[in-house]
Copies of this chain bind each other. A is one copy, B any other.
Amino acid sequence: MFSNLSMGALGLKADLPTSIELAVRHGFGGVDPDLGYLNDLGDLGAVTEFGSSVAERGLRWGIAGLPIGVTDPGPQFAEQLAALPAKLAVLQAAGVTSVGTWIRPMHDDLPYRRNWTLHVGRLSLIAELLADSGIRLGLEYIGPKTFWSTERFPFVHSLGEALELIVEVGAPNIGLILDSYHWYTAGEDADDLAGLSDADIVSADINDARDDRERDEQQDLDRRLPASTGVIDLGGFMAALRDAAYDGPVKVEPFMKSLADQPLDDVLADVSSRISAAIG
């Protein structure tokens, strides 16, 4: 495991070079790539060079966002699919090895099994294109009941379901994005993580929850920094990652607007230290 700086996940803005500087300064082990920035470098040679320079700074790549909307209307999806290989070539040239997206945990029109069919079909196509570029796909399930219960048809919102979906797609380059916040809000515990291996996990997020709300009242976009409230069993979560011999990025995504109001270096020093402490 390595601590991974994702400025976006912290609600902070910085271009990729700045993020890299900040990651180095605060002792992160990696940084999230930014496809837009890489793409603007002009040609794949420049991208490769940029990727090398990041490695030379001692940083690994975190995880890029999947550049296609899994549940977009068919025509848009088809267009994005056709545009995907060129984008993946950029990521591949930079040395990026994983992209990720979240699974929208409800739908107003598609019942569970129809939504499942849509996801399996589209994720299969996406995974096949990703495999051609040597890139893995991480899927994040979303746990808060205040989110999945807001439309007519709840969808995947637990670890077990996410694993089922991955098995059904059947592509060797798909795995989980595990977030302690979703694990907690989904009502899961360490037993649910037992048996996972590094191959099953593409990325990990660690966050804590507010201590003035019950589990089923927690909001998806109102979390806390890891090991701050102690609501979530961070120790159990990290122990499971270690048992899985997980070797990928660990980041923080607290959705706390207040972070943007604090001195940047204070925030990053705190975040870096919290992740390092969790990794142990």
Contacts and interface: CB of A to CB of B under 8 A. Distances in A.
B121 A117 contact: yes
A272 interface: no
A161 interface: yes
Contacts of A85: 75, 78
Contacts of A170: 114, 117
Interface string A147-160: 00100111000101
A113 B111 contact: no
A125 interface: yes
B113 A116 contact: yes
Contact of A154 (B121, B129, B154, B160): B154
Given A74-B132, A152-B187, A161 B81 contact: no
A68 to B, nearest CB: 10
Nearest to A165: B113
Contacts of A84: 78
A9 interface: no
Contacts of A164: 111, 113-114
A192 to B, nearest CB: 12
A118 B124 contact: yes
A122 interface: yes
Using C-beta atoms within 8 Å of the partner chain, give the interface range for chain A: 35 or more
Contact of A153 (B74, B121, B158): B158
B153 A113 contact: no
A142 B153 CA distance: 13
Contact of A125 (B83, B121, B160, B168): B121
Nearest to A162: B111
Nearest to A122: B121
B160 A128 contact: no
Contact of A124 (B117, B153, B169, B187): B117
Q: Which 10 A-B pairs have the closest CB atoms?
A: A121-B121, A82-B82, A74-B128, A78-B81, A112-B112, A154-B154, A149-B149, A111-B161, A121-B124, A78-B82
24 contacts: A74-B132, A75-B85, A75-B129, A75-B132, A77-B125, A78-B81, A78-B82, A78-B129, A81-B81, A81-B82, A111-B164, A112-B161, A113-B161, A117-B120, A117-B124, A117-B168, A118-B121, A120-B120, A122-B125, A125-B125, A149-B154, A152-B186, A153-B154, A154-B154
Interface of A: 73-75, 77-79, 81-85, 111-114, 116-118, 120-122, 124-125, 128-129, 132, 145, 149, 152-154, 158, 160-161, 164, 167-170, 186-187
